[in-house]
Chains A and B, each alone.
Chain A
Amino acid sequence: MASETVHHTAMTLSEHLPILEILVPFVAAPLIVFIGRRELACPIAFIASAASFVIAGMLLSQVIDGSVISYQLGGWAPPLGIEYRVDTANAFVLLLVSGISTLVLPYAKASVARELPESAQTLFYALFLLCFTGLLGVTITGDAFNVFVFLEISSLSTYVLIAQGAHRDKRALTASYNYLIMGTIGATFFVIGVGFLYMATGTLNMADLADRIENQYDSRTVRAAFAFIMVGMGLKVAIFPLHLWLPNAYTYAPSAITSFLAATATKVAIYVILRFLFSVFQPGFLAEVPTLDLILYPFAILAMFAASYTAILQRDLKRMLAYSSIGQVGYMLLGIALLSESGLMATMIHLFNHGITKAALFMGVGVYVLNGGGSFYHNLRGRGKTMPWTSAAMVVAGLSLIGVPGTAGFLSKWLLVEAALAQGMWPIALLIVASSLLAVIYVWKLIETLYLAQPAEGLQDQNVPLMMMIPLWVMALACIYFGFDTDITLSAARSAAEGLLAGSAGMR
């Protein structure tokens, strides 16, 4: 009898996994504030994040065969009720976001303890969890308006988190303000677009939207909605000409936040673009409206070259990495623009691989910053000798950023070039490899500084907290591991690409 009850509870719990994914961090955030104990804040956040990670893994294992979980919030059936909808594409992103967060939190404990005053630390973790919740919510929901709600939850907490960098450098305040303005414009554009869609269809549920706009692709309202949503999300992704908020935000935010955001926030925004392009508007719409050729290709290629070139010119490592991120977004857009299964696979894989690579790099920068004051190249001279472990991890992640064979980055590049060749897009394939040579230059500038420059006078070796070193090395080793073992990433990416290309049919 007792065992039956347990069994029953387990059943219901597993049915509620989609909401638990969101609810655990969402409840843990105020809990941290109520308990109010600084030393408990990080452990609670870590446990919540780890729980989300486990749940995301369970969700992915349920949908990786191509099936879809539809969860009705409060038992209200869509399209009136809010629906959470898990397929491979977003389960994969959920796994990435929660995985990165679970690794960043232990790192944050040591780094935040030194970067923030004690009074701000408890609230920091609460906000971190809110931001985390927002990102997960954006990813998991199947309701267009709900995307906006979660987007604002994550954005608002992000603004505050970036501003926390002001305890170290006051410029974090302007960076945060800048992002606040740009981010709000983006979110507003997005919600205007969703409003137009509602006007044209009378529904907000994504699957329902897809059905109802199928016969009004030439409606001006629908097309305007498309434009608003793309530009709005483009701002959050930092697609090349809309990227101006990003370098400062990444440079002045606390190190832990930069690692977290670089690996997750833009990736989630890319996922939203994917979801709207393929599941709501569907490939049919894309064929009718020449968006991809006119918008995505040029801006993707512009990002790959202009942002990478700008990265070479930087004298601050954080800023260099930020520009590199903008350039790398170009690859992901390119994969989308190819409009093929292999192209989307490349985008999904790169989303993941670039996420772990950038997280490792920004974690490394955080370690340097704590042990010597700055992330300018002249602060990093000769660190290969004084901080060998950190620098070695930076080299590994840097090689992955270039896409050297044997690293995760290589597979992204391989799939992307293969996808371009499969479409007969010769010039695109050559542009991809050419732009990755720019990555060689900016990564090698770092390696030369670390290993070949003479260390500045009076720099003593400091002990790096193990809690920072372990996450850094886990990330760095992941860059190598996922360069060889692609079972999880590749099958998830393939199944995600299939689901997305099936359009609204893939949502059932």
Chain B
Amino acid sequence: METSFAILLSMLLPGAAVLSNMLLRNSPDLRDGLTLGAAIATFMVVLNILANVGNTTTETFTFLTVMPGLELAFNVEPLGLMFALLASGLWIVTHLYGLGYMRGNNEDNHARFFACFSFAIFSVMGIAFAANMFTLFLFYEALTLSTYPLVAHKGNMAAIKGARTYLGILIGTSIGLQLVAIIWTYAVAGTLDFAKGGILQGLIAGPSVAILLALYAFGIGKAALMPFHRWLPAAMVAPTPVSALLHAVAVVKAGVFTMLKVGIYIFGIEFLAESGASTWLMWLAAFSILAASVIAMTKDNLKARLAYSTISQLSYITLGVALASSMGILGGGLHVVMHAMGKITLFMCAGSIYVATHRTEISQMTGLGRRMPITFIAFLIGALSIIGLPPLGGSWSKWLLMVGAVDSEHLFILGVLLVSSLLNVAYLLPLVAKGFFLSNDTDAELAQSAEASPLVWGPPAATAFGCVVLFFYAGHIQDFLMPIVAAN
């Protein structure tokens, strides 16, 4: 398959799923089956790209020129391909899970839900294969807009308010800061193409570099860098499949992916390292990591706790960019995958508990582990991966980040990463410990609860297994990503 055609196909398939969901609103089985087909086909297409292209960077192909310098253009490079694989692969799992969840909970507006979901995947594919900052920004905004209806899905006051915060912060930062940064970049460099080694070197100097980086870092609100993180907890009003795929994988990863792209292909790692413009970002990311973890400990609502955990983990990746070293970038890139696999497991477990018992607070889940062993074991594995213990995937990305911190001689960051791991233990493991080792005899309702349908507990079990598998394949991913940091 021609690469340009494959890229278009990987976007057309989710696009077609949007249409089929809208048109077939009255035949749920056909509609959901077609969406599943589209998800599998999308994954196959991305695999095909992987088989053909490997970890090389392909020629850019321009879809259309909006005006000279502003082109809708796509190409394949390792980081984007990895992101596309991740999102399309997990889409299959989440779609199955979503079917179980939406049907199990008797939620309304299934057609709209899955249409928006597919649109979000369409946008993610656009982001992953964008060859310049304009194209990326276009799909970045499309992703925000298409996930808004998903956050507001329940339509009650809490959902509307949460969705308002969600949209307000994401659109506010992207138009108010990121757009300015993009136009500034364009004004300085005359191009927005992603290029190895960056496009800004030698064109901008002094404090301007740090200011421009700040406009990007805060403007990419999806990376949830403090103080622009509040949209993520607000988005937790959405049904759990949305939180799982979009707010643990697609949307937030689109944010840090954009951060990585900006760091590698707009500024260039060497330029960042030489100018020292990213030092402040490193400290802020370190602060974000610790502060969000501390807040997570105070949350009793499971999804809220996971959301703050996500904020903390995303800052690992921002930190990887800010370290401005090869190892930092590799660690950040690897953490995109590892955290995605771990966090989607945790969210799907939270959803599984909700479908089975309609409980959302951690304090109500004491003793539940014995009733729902599969869910809780999956949760344990996911949690251990997030904490970064071998033999689980998460251990490698943390390892690389630590090496990166040592490389750039920021030993304090090493301490931050260690403390953060301890905090992760403190807020993730109590749920499992209480679930298995404490019993709750007074709660009659709990005694009767059991695992919900296999569609609900199967997917988290699968992704938990994935966390184990990733431990053994981390080296391959690292090798795969190597070209993005290799010298020209």
Contacts and interface: CB of A to CB of B under 8 A. Distances in A.
A505 interface: no
A467 to B, nearest CB: 25
A429 B183 contact: yes
A490 B67 contact: yes
Nearest to A421: B187
Interface in A19-49: none
Interface string A400-422: 00111110000101100110011
Nearest to A491: B67
A302 B168 CA distance: 23
A403 B176 CA distance: 12
A440 B172 contact: yes
Contacts of B149: 451
Contact of A484 (B66, B142, B176): B66
B356 interface: no
B150 to A, nearest CB: 13
B180 A433 contact: yes
A340 B70 CA distance: 21
A403 B138 CA distance: 11
B189 to A, nearest CB: 13
Interface string B58-85: 0000001011001010000000000000
Contact of A403 (B72, B142, B175): B175
Interface in B127-146: 134, 137-138, 141-142, 145
A484 B73 CA distance: 12
A207 to B, nearest CB: 32
Contacts of B177: 433
Nearest to B176: A433
A483 interface: yes
Contacts of B437: none
A421 B184 contact: yes
A444 interface: yes
B186 A418 contact: yes
A417 B179 contact: yes
B454 interface: no
B64 A484 contact: yes
B475 interface: no
Nearest to B186: A418
A181 interface: no
B18 to A, nearest CB: 13
Given A484-B64, A484-B72, A486-B67, A414 B183 contact: yes
Contact of B142 (A406, A418, A430): A406
Contacts of A436: 175
Contacts of A452: 152, 155, 160
A403 B179 CA distance: 11
Contacts of B137: 405
B187 A404 contact: no
Nearest to B187: A421
B248 interface: no
A417 B183 contact: yes
Nearest to B67: A486
B167 interface: yes
Contacts of A485: 64, 66
Interface residues of A, number: 29
A385 to B, nearest CB: 10
Nearest to B72: A484
A448 B160 contact: yes
A402 B149 CA distance: 18
A313 interface: no
A440 B67 contact: no
Contacts of A448: 160, 164
Given A405-B138, A414-B183, A429-B180, A437 B172 contact: yes
Contacts of A399: 145
Contact of B66 (A418, A444, A486): A486
A411 B142 CA distance: 16
Contacts of B134: 405
A406 B152 contact: no
B283 to A, nearest CB: 25
B162 to A, nearest CB: 12
Contacts of B72: 484
Contacts of A414: 70, 179, 183
B171 interface: yes
Contacts of B172: 437, 440
A484 B63 CA distance: 11
Contact of A440 (B64, B175, B183): B175
A91 B467 CA distance: 64
B183 A418 contact: yes
B176 A434 contact: yes
B379 to A, nearest CB: 33
Nearest to B156: A452
B133 to A, nearest CB: 11
Contacts of B70: 414
Contacts of B160: 448, 452
A401 to B, nearest CB: 13
Contacts of B152: 451-452
A483 B66 contact: yes
A406 B138 contact: yes
A404 B141 contact: yes
Contacts of A433: 175-177, 179-180
Contacts of B64: 484-485
A313 B186 CA distance: 36
Interface in A357-401: 399
Given A405-B141, A451-B149, A444 B187 contact: no
B463 to A, nearest CB: 32
Contacts of B168: 440
A486 B134 CA distance: 15
A486 B67 CA distance: 6
Interface centre among A399, A405, A440, A452 (most CB of B within 10 A): A405
A430 B180 contact: yes
Interface string B157-193: 0001000100110011001110110011011000000
Given A399-B145, A411-B67, A452-B155, A437 B138 contact: no
Contacts of A406: 138, 141-142
Nearest to A418: B183
A214 B481 CA distance: 65
A404 B170 CA distance: 12
Interface centre among B155, B172, B179 (most CB of A within 10 A): B179
Contacts of A429: 180, 183
Nearest to B160: A452
Contacts of A434: 176
Interface in A112-170: none
A421 B164 CA distance: 31
A334 to B, nearest CB: 15
A421 B183 contact: yes
A496 to B, nearest CB: 16
A31 B187 CA distance: 54
A29 to B, nearest CB: 39
A252 B152 CA distance: 34
A143 B450 CA distance: 85
A444 B169 CA distance: 13
Nearest to B172: A437
Contact of A437 (B142, B171, B184): B171
A437 B176 contact: yes
Interface centre among B67, B171, B187 (most CB of A within 10 A): B67
22 contacts: A399-B145, A402-B171, A404-B145, A405-B138, A406-B141, A411-B67, A414-B179, A414-B183, A418-B183, A421-B184, A421-B187, A422-B187, A430-B180, A433-B175, A433-B177, A433-B180, A434-B176, A437-B176, A440-B167, A444-B167, A452-B155, A484-B66
State the 4 A-B residue pairs at the shortest beta-carbon distance, nearest first.
A405-B138, A486-B67, A417-B183, A421-B187
Interface of A: 399, 402-406, 411, 413-414, 417-418, 421-422, 429-430, 433-434, 436-437, 440, 444, 448, 451-452, 483-486, 490
Given A418-B186, A484-B64, A484-B66, 12 more contacts: A405-B134, A405-B137, A411-B66, A422-B187, A433-B177, A433-B179, A434-B176, A437-B175, A440-B168, A452-B152, A483-B66, A486-B67
